[in-house]
Homo-oligomer: A and B are copies of this chain.
Amino acid sequence: MNDNKQRIKNVALDYFGQKGYEDTSLAEIAKEVGIKKPSIYNHFRSKEDLFVEVLEDLIASEVTAYRLTEGKMNHQEPLLNIRKLFDLFCHRLMTTKEALLWKRVTFFPPEPFKDLIQEHFIHFEKVTTSILVSVFREGVKQSLFQGITEDEFVASFLCLVDGVFLEHHYYTKEIFEQRIQSAWKVYERGVSSYKGE
């Protein structure tokens, strides 16, 4: 019964990510699902409604993934944990349709959703920040991250991840993986103590 509703959302997630919200028509979504355009209105009150539902699902699945990784951390190894977070991020970026749409809308939010998307972005960042802070504090206990404040630790990690986020689009998979490794290496050196390991 609700099979088609989920199918519409799946196709919408894909098309909104590939072509953007404004440039995706309900007619082409319907065609891909195998129904006619007006039938979409049996499940969603408007195109905007459809977008909001797709977006909300996306956020929920991102937050869940990060919480799961947090649960799997070994609190004795801060450097490993921060790497795990980084890998999780890169992995989702390359394998999920959600990442493409999330990237698109955070970067170029469609007019009607600017505020909504901003709220989600801030919420999502709070989730990741709280994880980063707990990793940092554990590291400090172990005399890691010397000369770096909590805020600097968080900000530089988020900047790293945002940079990777953008670059995913520019390059082929091979070059992208090189880029990731290079950026990570410099980041890790940067947050490590000058006096070296």
List 5 contacting pairs A-B, 8 Å CB cutoff, sorted by A: A106-B170, A152-B186, A160-B183, A162-B167, A185-B190
Question: Is the CB–CB distance between B185 and A156 below 8 Å?
Answer: yes
Cross-interface CB contact of A190 among B147, B167, B179, B187, cutoff 8 Å = B187
Number of interface residues, chain A, beta carbon within 8 A: 46
The reply to whether A166 and B107 contact each other, CB–CB distance below 8 Å, is: yes
Q: How many copies does the complex hold?
A: 2
Contacts of A196 in B (CB 8 A): 194-195
Interface string of A1-33 (1 = CB under 8 A from B): 000000000000000000110110000000000
A87 lies within 8 A of chain B by Cβ: no
* Min C-beta distance of A179 to chain B, whole Å: 5
